[in-house]
């Protein structure tokens, strides 16, 4: 009896293997993109903030930061601009959890006016005029224009984020700490050479999701930091709003951008 069961198990396994190998029955996920299943980031948890009493705060300062995605140190938050397997950008991550209702998008920096789902979908939708060429029965070319909308090309235009931070001195621990309160995304409109604010999110509400998604690490593929690690360790470059980013062109002239 045991021998018969063993033969049946081997036969079923062989049949399953052949079914996967046959064309037309492939299912996404049958072939692993790597040498092992990555489970560490999926089970990662964010580090909770320690309890803070008002009486322990002897000094506090509200600080605003701007993150320019065109700076090299911030590329880990900007790329990829198109969805690919195993990686995601900061804007793709925020859009994913805002659209499924896990994160609330606000229109103000004080988190008082939330967007409706239809409003945020409209903001994330990018529409443009596309020219199409057709031919008449006489062979004459006719060019027409139509509007096309998609929700992925906007990712490449998110050049700037704004952080709302509170710096404070905790006399109980005798340390100077910082906690990010809010995060805002801005889309660059090339035709107007200006930025358009998209939404604000409450940063502590995003931390559980930041901890579950990896960020590209060029030095070690087996040690992928998460978005939570990037913000917790402050591995990003920033400047104060209104500060000029000084760049040097080919002629050696310093220009402010």
User: For the segment 210-247, what is each residue's pLDDT rounded down to a tens digit?
Assistant: 999 988 877 777 777 899 999 999 999 998 876 544 33
Does position 65 have pLDDT exceeding 80, yes or no? yes
Whether the CB-CB separation of 24 and 130 falls below 8 Å is answered with: no
For range 171-179, the mean pLDDT: 94
Q: How many CA atoms lie within 13 A of 68 on its CB side?
A: 13
Q: Supply the pLDDT for residue 224.
A: 77
β pairing state of 141-150 and 160-170 = unpaired
β pairing state of 160-170 and 175-189 = antiparallel
Q: What are residue 104's phi and psi, to 5 degrees?
A: -95, 130
User: Rounded to whole angstroms, how far apart are CA atoms 247 and 254?
Assistant: 6
Does position 97 have pLDDT exceeding 50, yes or no? yes
Q: What is the mean pLDDT of the chain?
A: 80
Cα 143 to the center of its chain, rounded Å: 38
Position 6 confidence tier, pLDDT thresholds 50, 70, 90: low
Domain extents in the chain? 58-134+141-241
Q: Supply the pLDDT for residue 40.
A: 67
């Amino acid at each position: 009896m045991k021998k018969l069961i063993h033969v049946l198990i081997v036969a079923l396994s062989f049949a399953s293997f052949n079914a996967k190998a046959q064309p037309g029955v492939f299912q996404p996920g049958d072939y692993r993109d790597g040498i092992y299943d990555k489970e560490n980031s999926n089970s990662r948890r964010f580090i909770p903030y320690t309890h803070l009493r008002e009486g322990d705060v002897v000094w506090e300062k509200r600080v605003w930061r701007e993150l320019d995605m065109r700076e090299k140190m911030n590329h880990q938050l900007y790329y990829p601009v198109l969805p690919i397997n195993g990686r995601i950008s900061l804007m793709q991550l925020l859009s994913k959890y805002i659209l499924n209702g896990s994160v609330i998008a606000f229109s103000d920096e004080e988190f008082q006016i939330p967007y409706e789902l239809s409003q945020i979908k409209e903001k994330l939708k990018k529409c443009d005029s596309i020219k199409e060429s057709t031919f008449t029965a006489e062979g004459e070319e006719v060019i027409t224009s139509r509007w096309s909308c998609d929700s992925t090309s906007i990712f490449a235009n998110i050049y700037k984020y704004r952080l709302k931070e509170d710096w404070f001195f905790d006399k109980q621990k005798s340390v100077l700490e910082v906690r990010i309160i809010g995060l805002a995304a801005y889309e660059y409109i090339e035709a107007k050479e200006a930025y358009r604010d998209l939404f604000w999110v409450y940063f502590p509400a995003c931390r559980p999701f930041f901890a579950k998604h990896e960020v590209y690490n060029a030095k070690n593929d087996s040690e992928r930091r998460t978005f939570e690690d990037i913000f917790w360790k402050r591995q990003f470059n920033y400047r104060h709003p209104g500060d000029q980013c000084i760049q040097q062109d080919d002629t050696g002239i310093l220009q402010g951008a």
